Amino acid sequence: MTVVSKSPQIKICDSSDAAASAVASIFAAAIGQQSQSTDRDLVLGLATGGTPIRVYRKLVEMHDNDRLDFSAVTTFNLDEYVGLPGDHPQSYRYFMQQQLFDHINVDLHRTHVPDGTAADLATAACDYEGRIRQAGGIDLQLLGIGSNGHIAFNEPGSAADSRTRVVDLTSETIEANARFFDSPDQVPRKAITMGIGTILEARQIVLMATGSKKADAVYRALHGPVTTENPASLLRQHSQVVFVLDREAAARLPS
């Protein structure tokens, strides 16, 4: 692994598997450190999608083989589709249960995913913000990056101080997520997402990107203008951000 920058810190790994190991190690270190403290739970912000699956598998392996203890961990997921119940195979609650929660000793009452089926979605979004504050804020936030620079479901043009809210998904994002559904028509058109302002309040942020399809987005996030038209670029305003990349995702970065 090569470290090529300090602010944001950039870690370039030889493969996507090595990148997942690096991210899992960051989370495991935070969990291990917090287990020595009785002050409060460690609060993790978690992501869904293809990128973090290997991270979650490695955390499960650490739990099984190294007794990584999640009993004092609280989690908040970035987003959820509007209209999908938690037992729907494409809901993000279902994803988290399958990929992580069902395989570790986390208290499920302390795992939070936005409620995409709430009768009053605006109130549910505000309540989600309140639960994050009540937990003491997010200590360590995991992010992916969309090809258009979105983080969570904060599409280009999202306000830098935005909070958890209902958003319309762009046609580009709908197309990208259609691979998880039987047809593009089945992809929800709205989601509840943490806002950029919420994300930037996390004490530490880890963005993971792998594969050549993310190379342009990574380059623009790190070297393009800092603008709401490229939400990931706003991460450069945070003092504790780590980009963990494989060599394909880092291909456009200056050597």
Residue from 41, 63, 115, 148 carrying the catalytic annotation: 148
Single out the residue of 201, 151, 167 nearest to residue 51, CA to CA.
Answer: 151
DSSP string, 133-188: HHTT--SEEEE---TTS-BTTB-TT--TT--SEEEEPPHHHHHHHGGGSSSGGGS-
201 annotated active-site: no
Do 76 and 112 meet the contact criterion of CB atoms below 8 Å apart? yes
Token pair listed for 32: 């291990």
Q: SS3 for 147? A: coil
Active site residue 103: no
Question: How many residues appear in the chain?
Answer: 255
Helix count and strand count (H, E) for the chain: 7, 11
Decide if 155 is catalytic: yes
Active-site residue flag, 112: no
Catalytic-labelled residue, pool 80, 115, 139, 155: 155
Q: Which of 79, 115, 139, 246 is catalytic?
A: 79
CB 209 within 8 A of CB 173: no
Catalytic machinery residues: 79, 148, 150, 155
